[in-house]
Chain A
Amino acid sequence: MMVIKIAGSIKKDVTGPVTLTLEWKPLTVLECLEHLGIDEKQVGAVLVNGKPKKMSHTLEDEDEVQILPVLSGG
């Protein structure tokens, strides 16, 4: 199983944070986002076990995945 923590304001219709579990499959971060119906462009960063990972990173069983919002500028 993987624990997925989605910050609020990432999905249009979801205002607050959401935590859910997902049965593990060898998905990349990008595939995981697609599976959750999340547009990559609405995601500022994905932390896997606290470390930022690229969209091509393959998730492992027991991973904790945090999906963070886009920033307000640089």
Chain B
Amino acid sequence: MDKILRINTRTRTIQYETTPEPYLKTGGRGLIAKILLDEVDPACEPLGRHNKLIFAMGLLTGTNVSSASRVCIGAKSPLTQGIKESNSGGITAMRLAQMGLKALILEDQPEDDRWYYVKISKEACSLEPAEAYLGMGTGEFCEAIHKLYPGAAVSCIGPVGEMLYSSAGIATTDADHKPGRFSGRGGLGAVMGSKKIKGIVVLGKDTMPLADKEGFMAALKTYTSVVKEAPSTLNYRTLGTASMVRVMNGHGGLPTHNFSLGRFDGMDQICGETIFDVITERGGDGRTSHACMPGCVIQCSNIYPDKEGKAIVSPLEYENLGLLGSNLGISDLDTVARLNALCNNMDIDTIETGAAIGVAMEAGVAAFGDGEAALSLLDEIKKGTVLGRVLGNGAVVTGKVFGIRNVPAINGQAMPAYDPRAIKGMGVTYATSPMGADHTYGATARAQIEQASRVGQAELSFSTQKNMAIYDTMGFCIFCSGAIGNQHQLIADLINARYGWSVDTPWLKALGEETLRNEHLFNQKAGFTKAHYKMPECFTERVLPGVNTVFDVGPEELEQVIDAHLEGRRTLKP
């Protein structure tokens, strides 16, 4: 895994490059930050020719380490105007790594209207005409590709990426070859669309070279046992992320009616336990547990079927239940599943779309709880009507157009399903992330802390952000963190056996810190100041009923987090 594949989408030249030395000992999110800092003008226009779309493999990606082959995709974001990395499960990164690639870079922009998909196999790459696939949803595109290349790994955009919506994502096929995994956040699908690339298709698979096979197998055995036996893994495998519906409702932090409430009357109808019962009862295609990539021992995914047992969507998970369910006042699970499936097929971010429709509902465009109206709004988005284009460009644009100030977004990107007034560590993460409101940047909801108190939240978010930067650089799934926690030696052992290196846990920490620093540096050069990293007034001044508090972690504490990252400090306070 030592090549960088660079494709110029204007000249259509394809080059394999040897990975430069400074890039060798990083990967995934860390490598994306380095390449963007080195090659992309932070002040560039995200949908212009100077931006680049990067697929970067994690340091353990392609191996048979469980949950270590997330596909990390990055660029300057059209939604936030800052750096963006969005990763997802599926099989594309595993296959790209097995084709010997450390990164794939799409650069420049076509001067004509011809569309292509990128076909990659071992030491071979070509651009194939894609006009015949334009307008296709992700499902139809993948079906068509699989007729040509059965079993291929695919990452692609749907019609909203072609239309350059700021909330367009990139879908990736899972272990069953369905495009059910999404690098949904930040509008990366629009960046891919701006380069007129419909998809990435990877043929073939291989095994990864191991410097110390015996040592690797020993480290893998220990790691697998820790992940497999962790109580959090049993929860993921049984209820999946949907288990968070009841927990967040209990905290009073489940977004409801455009984040005006934190507890939902219909919670019982959309919670994980109900989903488990419905899937079990309906049978058919339904699965209460499902792996998105081969060899995953967590298997947090599910397949949600209709009354006839035919799959509606996979997975049906927490963020979508929150943003497309409670946030819109919709408690009918089948409707939430259909909303989710429609978003997936047109490849629009479910979080951004749920937040945008919530804002529109507050404006009276439709009533909270009206599932049919929500389905119609998704149809407008797909058709590209004026209303659809407003919604498809996110919650902030929707708020501006309809004159609504209660917009749950930071730096242009909508909040995931944790109200920052109830889960204040998550609020710190949203406000201080260089990628806009993003829970995966430092998820704090499981911490043993008084979640609605301001005390200790900046420190908690800071340390969680540093931990996540390590995981994202390896290609790991966030869900390993519940099992591994701070046992970073397990990761170091795998890395050393994989590459023949002698890294230790301080090295891993430094790698995470370097990634955070690079990301903040990129934003600083793009024009971000400390004033950008703040919570909107609708959360600092509007009391959340039930929890009876506002987001009150002070701006000076948020600034401390930014400073600490930029200065590469180990501790929050100097």
The residues of B that contact A53 with a CB separation of less than 8 Å are: 273
- Asked if B391 is at the interface (CB within 8 A of a chain A CB), the reply is no
Main secondary structure of the interface of B (DSSP, over half): helix
Known: A7-B231, A41-B251, A73-B439. A52 touches B273 (CB 8 A): yes
Q: How far is the CB of B352 from chain A (nearest CB, A)?
A: 16
Q: Contact string, B436-470, partner A, CB cutoff 8 A, digits 1/0?
A: 00011001011010010000000000000000000
Known: A41-B251, A54-B268. A74 touches B231 (CB 8 A): no
Across the interface, do B246 and A55 meet the contact criterion of CB distance under 8 Å?
yes
| Measured CA separation A47–B234 after assembly (Å) | 10
Q: Which of B107-115, B178-186, B477-485, B552-560 faces chain A?
A: B477-485
Across the interface, do B244 and A74 meet the contact criterion of CB distance under 8 Å?
yes
Across the interface, do A70 and B319 meet the contact criterion of CB distance under 8 Å?
no
- Asked if B61 is at the interface (CB within 8 A of a chain A CB), the reply is no
Across the interface, do B243 and A45 meet the contact criterion of CB distance under 8 Å?
yes
Residue of A nearest to B242 (CB): A74
Residues of B within 8 A of A (CB): 231-232, 234-236, 238-244, 246-247, 250-251, 268, 271-274, 276, 317-319, 417, 439-440, 443, 445-446, 448, 451, 478-479, 481-482
The residues of A that contact B481 with a CB separation of less than 8 Å are: 72
**9 sampled A-B residue pairs with Cβ under 8 A:** A44-B232, A44-B239, A44-B446, A45-B238, A47-B234, A53-B273, A68-B235, A71-B236, A71-B479
The residues of B that contact A54 with a CB separation of less than 8 Å are: 246, 268, 271, 273-274
| Measured CA separation A70–B251 after assembly (Å) | 12
User: Chain A interface residue count: which class?
Assistant: 20 to 34
Q: How far is the CB of A70 from chain B (nearest CB, A)?
A: 4
The residues of A that contact B440 with a CB separation of less than 8 Å are: 73
Known: A44-B247, A52-B272, A52-B276. A70 touches B239 (CB 8 A): no
Across the interface, do B246 and A71 meet the contact criterion of CB distance under 8 Å?
no
- Asked if A26 is at the interface (CB within 8 A of a chain B CB), the reply is no
Across the interface, do A45 and B239 meet the contact criterion of CB distance under 8 Å?
yes
| Measured CA separation A52–B440 after assembly (Å) | 26
The residues of B that contact A44 with a CB separation of less than 8 Å are: 232, 235, 239, 243-244, 247, 446
The residues of A that contact B244 with a CB separation of less than 8 Å are: 44, 70-71, 73-74
Across the interface, do A73 and B250 meet the contact criterion of CB distance under 8 Å?
no
| Measured CA separation A55–B246 after assembly (Å) | 9
Q: How far is the CB of B97 from chain A (nearest CB, A)?
A: 25
Residue of A nearest to B418 (CB): A73
Known: A9-B448, A52-B238. A69 touches B482 (CB 8 A): yes
Partner of A71, one of B235, B274, B448: B235
Across the interface, do A72 and B238 meet the contact criterion of CB distance under 8 Å?
no
Partner of A74, one of B232, B271, B319, B451: B319
